[in-house]
A = this chain, B = another copy of it.
Amino acid sequence: RPQEEPTRVTHTVMPARPGDPSAKTGAPARAREKSLTVATLNPQVKAVEYAVRGPIVLKAGDIERRLLQGEKLSFTDVIKANIGDAHAMGQQPITFLRQVVALCCFPELLSSPAFPDDAKQRAQRILQDCGGQSIGSYSASQGLQCIRRDVADYITHRDQGVPSDWNNVYLTTGASDGIMSILKLVVSGRGPSRTGVMIPIPQYPLYSAAISELDAVHINYYLDEDNCWALDIEELQRAYLDAKLHCQPRVLCIINPGNPTGQVQTKKCIEEVLHFAYEENLLVMADEVYQDNVYLPDCQFHSFKKVLYEMGPEYFNGVELVSFHSTSKGFTGECGFRGGYMEVLNMDPQVEAQLVKLLSVRLCPPVPGQAAMDVIVNPPKEHEPSYAQFTKEKSSVLDVLAHKAKLTEQFLNSVPGIKCNPVQGAMYAFPQIFIPPRAIQEAQSLSMAPDMLYCLRLLEETGICVVPGSGFGQREGTFHFRMTILPSPEKLQVLLGQLKGFHLRFLEEYSQEEPDSSRASEQPD
């Protein structure tokens, strides 16, 4: 037992008891075995991986600290293009949203002439629905009723009249929380009856993390990179049939617009998916948090619910569908508020009662986040004083995002050894990168995914932080990274320029020598 540094603080030492190990040696017991070690840790927690905040981000934090301490590097800033965190990248909040939340927080401001009447009316309505008219009281576990009603009205309007019942709407702590709650409900069984959850590959790693944590089975269906990351129904069927042999597939997760892949699904594709889900009796989880983030003129967001409705009542009344939205994305980018909602369709009423019970243990979603969600679904109307500014701010955010989506795609495709599908929606580019065989070998010798090696080198040499494709899943032998399109246009230009420089250096470095390194490897283009 190593002798420890003596603790420098004064204290009263209890008399050592017989049998106490420290009594024998006089050494403090700091080295004694812990109750909780990696060996005794919940194995499902161990199995969880979450690349968006993984090792690459820890490394970025280290580099930031070194820069802050005055260390001289070849760059002065870390650019965090790893996470869809719009405000951190300089996007400004929507004024009306913040006015409403501030009024809810400090109702004395309701008498201030500095706040517009429509913001005051929104805040007053929310406060009237709060216990004691305070957002400091718990809401119902499903959220405040007036906001659930606003969400239902918003969905009805968005879907051109398809009815939405506010009783089916649950406010959540961001979309992640809702997704986790639904997955928690469906997980059961052991061995061949274990619940299988179908997820796209590439996927947003919340899904794989949640599936690991809950000890369900991942069923991967691969999106078609050669076809703009479209969902291929035959691949869905293949994955399903393969999985049937060893688990019970019960849930189908869809991300539309795609994360990290940025595709926007066509109506026809959604119909096929819903038809498949109907046939195989799968619960559909439609992650639609990027529903406002569609950039290309020939792309349009179709909600799974509206498409289901248009397929007729045998589908609309048959398929169990949960769709998710969030305050964190769209044009508001309010990640820190942890707001969101889910709409639950065709759920067995007894199961829904169990869902309410499960949610009630966590008491309620944060009420300021609920208020933020309300502004998104109940924005200023044309005749209201904040309409003009709200509309201008909203368009400005979305126009700039559309511009950056185009810019990113075009630039990346101009770099030899990088190939990028159009960023039709969401906030990310997910380009395929050529990694020379020697770099692959080097990564393997370090027990590291080759694109992790690439991203670590990129970070170390340029300060640009992106996430390796291996954190999202990709077809074997292909390599990618996910970068957000959130930096300001000027910063994005700089980022892309530096990325190009790095990429060319990387290719050169690993393509020199060893003339046999030219054997088959999947180089895009």
Contacts and interface: CB of A to CB of B under 8 A. Distances in A.
Contact of A11 (B186, B209, B310, B363): B310
B314 A87 contact: no
Contacts of A498: none
Contacts of A281: 32-35
Contacts of A348: 34, 36-38
**Most chain B beta-carbon neighbours within 10 Å: one of A314, A358, A367:** A314
Nearest to A43: B188
A87 B186 CA distance: 36
Interface stretch (A172-180, A400-408, A415-423): A172-180
Contacts of A507: none
B11 A336 contact: no
Nearest to A23: B314
A109 B187 CA distance: 47
Interface in A331-356: 332-338, 346-348, 350-351, 354
Contacts of A136: 86-87, 93, 332-337
B368 A132 contact: no
A42 interface: yes
A88 B137 contact: yes
B363 A13 contact: no
Interface in A300-336: 309-318, 320, 332-336
A386 to B, nearest CB: 13
Given A85-B137, A101-B106, A366-B337, A309 B350 contact: no
Best-buried of A101, A205, A209 by chain B (most CB within 10 Å): A101
Contact of A87 (B112, B131, B361): B131
Contacts of A264: none
Contacts of A373: none
Nearest to A368: B368
A159 B511 CA distance: 61
A283 B36 contact: yes
By DSSP majority rule, is chain A's interface helix, strand, loop, or mixed?
Answer: loop
B87 A363 contact: no
A368 to B, nearest CB: 4
Contact of A9 (B36, B137, B163, B177): B163
Interface stretch (A46-54, A287-295, A429-437, A448-456): A46-54
Q: How large is the interface on A (under 10, 10 to 19, 20 to 34, 35 or more residues)?
A: 35 or more
A174 B20 CA distance: 38
Given A37-B348, A137-B85, A137-B88, A318 B185 contact: no
A521 to B, nearest CB: 32
Contact of A22 (B52, B90, B173, B314): B314
A112 B37 CA distance: 52
A351 B106 contact: no
9 contacts: A9-B161, A9-B162, A36-B283, A36-B351, A42-B187, A89-B132, A176-B361, A184-B213, A209-B361
Given A36-B320, A86-B137, A336-B367, 5 more contacts: A9-B163, A13-B311, A46-B354, A50-B357, A112-B114
Interface of A: 4, 7, 9, 11-14, 16, 20, 22, 28-30, 32-38, 40-43, 45-46, 48-50, 52-54, 80, 83, 85-91, 93, 98-99, 101-102, 105-106, 108-109, 112, 114, 130-132, 134-139, 141, 161-163, 173-174, 176-177, 180, 184-188, 205-206, 209-210, 213, 250-251, 271, 275, 281-283, 309-318, 320, 332-338, 346-348, 350-351, 354, 357-358, 360-369
Question: Ordered nearest first, which 6 A-B pairs have the shortest CB separation?
Answer: A88-B131, A336-B367, A102-B106, A87-B134, A13-B312, A53-B360
